[in-house]
């Protein structure tokens, strides 16, 4: 009997667990409607948007509210990013040096929007143990990026529920081992063909009272979208 235990331990494929939890948010393509709430100690602001994705390489975000920003479009093709600003009729390319800047004043960066990194492919995973998060028994997993991975984090710690493989929490550390952001995922619902967290809170470690909430209001996965949809010409036409 004792000899069976090591074999049982090996049946936990940590890379596959991370992949499945990560891919709940992806699909081969998607169309979604999202609300972003930026909270600060003395004010808060709400931004509504539509989002189209194709694989990991293509993404288009159209801002639907507030009125001041309505019509702004963000396009990601591979690792390049553009912003169409209709009220000044300008197409702005966002350079690599700006990728760690705040996106629309939120706690998300431009890089968060365009990141193609896969938690399964770009990191080595190690099971640290188990912990309970939001009444779910979770695997606690450490991810260290590969030397050649184009990622900004020095380390990520994730909590993924054992039964449903829901990504419920993550801590993002810089290359010096300092905690930068904590991500908390909750409000588990059925969205199209899958059950997934629909509320995501990004909480910066060193800015008391700041956080950004992203709510998935609706999302359809594996829809037919052509690559040509993700063009600079379409950024000016989309409604």
pLDDT at 80: 87
Q: Is position 139 within any domain? A: yes
Lowest mean pLDDT among 19-23, 142-146, 197-201, 212-216: 19-23
| For the chain, percent of residues with pLDDT exceeding 90 | 73
pLDDT at 117: 63
Q: Is position 207 within any domain? A: yes
Q: Is position 76 within any domain? A: yes
Q: Work out whether strand 73-77 and strand 43-54 pair parallel, antiparallel, or are unpaired.
A: unpaired
Question: Residue 209 above 70 pLDDT?
Answer: yes
- Tell me what the mean pLDDT of segment 141-152 comes to: 85
Q: Is position 38 within any domain? A: yes
pLDDT digits (tens, 9 = 90+) for 26-71: 888 999 999 999 999 999 999 999 999 998 889 999 999 999 999 9
Q: Is position 8 within any domain? A: no
pLDDT digits (tens, 9 = 90+) for 163-187: 999 999 999 999 999 999 999 999 9
Lowest mean pLDDT among 2-11, 153-162, 203-212: 2-11
**Residue whose token pair is 């390319």:** 93
The total number of structural domains in the chain stands at 1
Q: Give the list of residues 6+ apart from residue 107 with CB closer than 8 angstroms, or none.
A: 38, 181, 202, 203, 204, 207, 210, 211, 212
Q: Is position 230 within any domain? A: yes
Q: Which token pair is 59?
A: 């993404």
pLDDT at 62: 97
Work out the mean pLDDT of the chain and round it to a whole number: 90
Q: Is position 9 within any domain? A: no
Question: Residue 5 above 60 pLDDT?
Answer: no
Give pairs for 133-137: CB < 8 Å, separation 24+.
Answer: 133/159, 133/161, 133/168, 133/169, 134/168, 134/186, 136/161, 136/162, 136/163, 136/164, 136/166, 136/168, 137/161, 137/162, 137/163
**Which of 167, 110, 101, 93 shows the shortest CA–CA distance to 133?**
167
The alpha helices in the chain, defined as continuous H runs, are 4-10, 14-23, 110-114, 232-237
CB atoms within 10 A of CB 116: 16
Asked whether 167 and 197 are in contact (CB, 8 A), the reply is: yes
Full domain range(s) for residue 220: 14-237
Which CATH number belongs to the domain containing residue 75 in this structure? Answer: 2.50.20.10
Q: Is position 199 within any domain? A: yes
């Amino acid at each position: 009997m004792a000899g069976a235990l090591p074999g049982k331990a090996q049946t936990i494929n940590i890379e596959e667990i991370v992949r499945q939890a990560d891919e709940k948010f992806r699909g081969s393509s998607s169309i979604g409607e999202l609300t972003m709430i930026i909270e600060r100690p003395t004010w808060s602001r709400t931004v509504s948007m539509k989002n189209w994705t194709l694989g990991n390489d293509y993404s288009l975000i159209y801002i639907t509210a507030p009125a001041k920003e309505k019509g702004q479009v963000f396009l990601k093709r591979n690792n390049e990013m553009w912003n169409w600003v209709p009220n000044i009729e300008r197409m702005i390319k966002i350079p690599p040096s700006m990728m760690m800047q705040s996106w629309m004043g939120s706690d998300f960066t431009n890089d968060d929007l365009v990141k193609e990194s896969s938690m399964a492919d770009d990191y080595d995973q190690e099971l640290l143990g188990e912990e309970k998060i939001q009444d779910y028994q979770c695997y606690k997993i450490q991810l260290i990026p590969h030397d050649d991975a184009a990622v900004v984090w020095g380390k990520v710690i994730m909590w993924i529920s054992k039964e449903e493989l829901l990504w419920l929490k993550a801590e993002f550390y810089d290359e010096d081992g300092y905690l930068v952001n904590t991500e908390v995922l909750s409000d588990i619902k059925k969205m199209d063909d899958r059950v997934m967290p629909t509320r995501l809170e990004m909480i910066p470690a060193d800015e008391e009272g700041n956080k950004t909430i992203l709510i998935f209001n609706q999302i359809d996965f594996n829809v037919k979208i052509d690559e040509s949809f993700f063009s600079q010409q379409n950024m000016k036409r989309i409604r």
